[in-house]
């Protein structure tokens, strides 16, 4: 089908609602301030070097900081961490966000201790595209939680993977 621009964007949005994504909190620390944002547009790139990318809206509160940090954290959420996903999806920034469950020395990116996985990345590149930026990180440290039950997001709802 051929669409007008607005109809095309609506159709693309509808298609993306049909794509399941694992939910992450991207964490960073700038001048002693911890920040984070819920993100689903995260993808591994390569195992050599181990690397991944994160797409972040340029209008997001964390975006200017993502441009200057040396490191960021990718905290892959577990199914039991839906509350954390909702807190960090809220645009307003609260210092309390990192009060419980986080290892946070406010030097390195905060790490969610019980995350399904947590990946410390050195930010080495970025590409602007449209409303977003693609940040590329090379993996420096990895933590994983036993058992495999990540939090996923599909069609506007949180869920988990089954058979």
Q: Does 61 bind a copy of itself (CB under 8 A)?
A: no
Say which residues have a Cβ less than 8 Å from residue 91's Cβ, sequence separation at least 6. Answer: 60, 61
**26: nearest Cα among 44, 49, 42, 47:** 42
CA distance 36 to 98: 9
User: Near a copy of itself by CB under 8 A, which window of 30-38, 84-92, 98-106, 146-154?
Assistant: 146-154
Q: Does 145 bind a copy of itself (CB under 8 A)?
A: yes
Asked whether the beta carbons of 109 and 102 are under 8 A apart, the reply is no
CA distance 107 to 104: 8
Window 16-35: contact mask with a copy of itself (x via CB under 8 A)? xxxxxxx-------------
**41: nearest Cα among 57, 29, 28, 59:** 57
Q: Does 122 bind a copy of itself (CB under 8 A)?
A: no
Binding a copy of itself (rule: CB under 8 A), the pick from 30, 51, 82, 89 is: 51
Tell me whether residue 33 or residue 141 sits nearer to a copy of itself (CB atom): 141
The footprint of a copy of itself (CB under 8 A) covers 1-3, 8-9, 11-22, 41-51, 53, 55, 76, 116-119, 125, 127, 129-132, 134, 136, 139-145, 148, 150, 152, 154-155, 159-163
């Amino acid at each position: 089908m051929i669409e007008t621009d607005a109809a095309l964007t609506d159709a693309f949005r509808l298609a993306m609602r049909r794509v399941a994504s694992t939910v992450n909190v991207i964490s960073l620390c700038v001048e002693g301030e911890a920040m984070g944002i819920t993100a689903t547009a995260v993808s591994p790139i390569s195992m050599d070097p181990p690397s991944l990318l994160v797409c972040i809206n340029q209008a997001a509160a964390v975006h200017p900081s993502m441009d200057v940090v040396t490191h960021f954290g990718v905290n892959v959420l577990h199914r039991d961490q839906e509350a954390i996903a909702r807190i960090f999806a809220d645009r307003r920034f609260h210092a309390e966000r990192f009060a419980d469950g986080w290892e946070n020395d406010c030097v390195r990116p905060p790490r969610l201790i019980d995350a399904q996985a947590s990946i410390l990345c050195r930010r080495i590149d970025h590409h602007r595209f449209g409303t977003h930026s693609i940040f590329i990180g090379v993996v420096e440290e990895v933590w994983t939680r036993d058992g495999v039950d990540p939090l996923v997001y599909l069609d506007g709802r949180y869920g988990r993977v089954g058979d």
